[in-house]
Amino acid sequence: MAKRTVYHVTKADDGWKVKKEHGERASLVTDTKAEAVAGAKGLAKNAPGPSQVKIHKEDGVIQTEYTYGNDP
pLDDT at 3 over 80: yes
Given this model, what pLDDT does residue 72 score? Answer: 60
What percentage of the chain reaches a pLDDT higher than 70? 94
Given this model, what pLDDT does residue 69 score? Answer: 87
Alpha helices in the chain (DSSP H): 33-46
Coil, helix or strand at residue 64: strand
Q: What is the mean predicted confidence (pLDDT) over 37-49?
A: 95
pLDDT at 70 over 80: no
Edge-to-edge strands, sheet with 5-12: 28-30, 15-20, 5-12, 51-56, 62-68
| Better-scored residue on pLDDT, 48 or 41 | 41
